[in-house]
Amino acid sequence: MTELTEGHTVKGYDVDLAGLRIRLLEMGGLVLDQVQRAVAALAGADDPAARAVLAREEQVNGYDLRIDEDSITLIARRQPMASDLRAIISIARAVSDLERVGDEAKKIAYAALDSGGKRNTKLSAQLARDVRHMAHFAASMLHDALDAFDRMDATGAVNVARRDTELNAEFQSAVRRLVTQAMEDPRRLAAVLDAVTVLKALEHVGDHAKNIARHVLYVVEGRDVRHEDTNVLIAVGEGK
What pLDDT, in 10s, does the model give residues 141-179?
999 999 999 999 999 999 999 999 999 999 999 999 888
pLDDT at 127: 72
**The pLDDT value given to residue 67:** 96
CA distance 33 to 2: 47
> What integer pLDDT is reported at residue 31 of this predicted model?
98
> How buried is residue 124: exposed, middle or buried, by Cβ count under 10 Å (0-12/13-18/19+)?
middle
| CA nearest to 116, candidates 46, 182, 54, 185 | 46
Contact 211, 138 (CB under 8 A): no
Backbone phi, psi, residue 86, to 5° = -60, -40
Q: Which amino acid is at 155?
A: T
Check whether domain 3-237 has CATH 1.20.58.220, yes or no: yes
pTM for the full predicted model: 0.86
List phi, psi (to 5°) of 101.
Answer: -60, -40
How far apart, in whole angstroms, are the C-alpha atoms of residue 48 and residue 51? 5
- Asked whether the CA dihedral 110, 102, 206, 38 is positive or negative, the reply is negative
What residues of the chain score a pLDDT lower than 70?
1-10, 115-124, 126, 224-240
d(CA 198, CA 134): 10
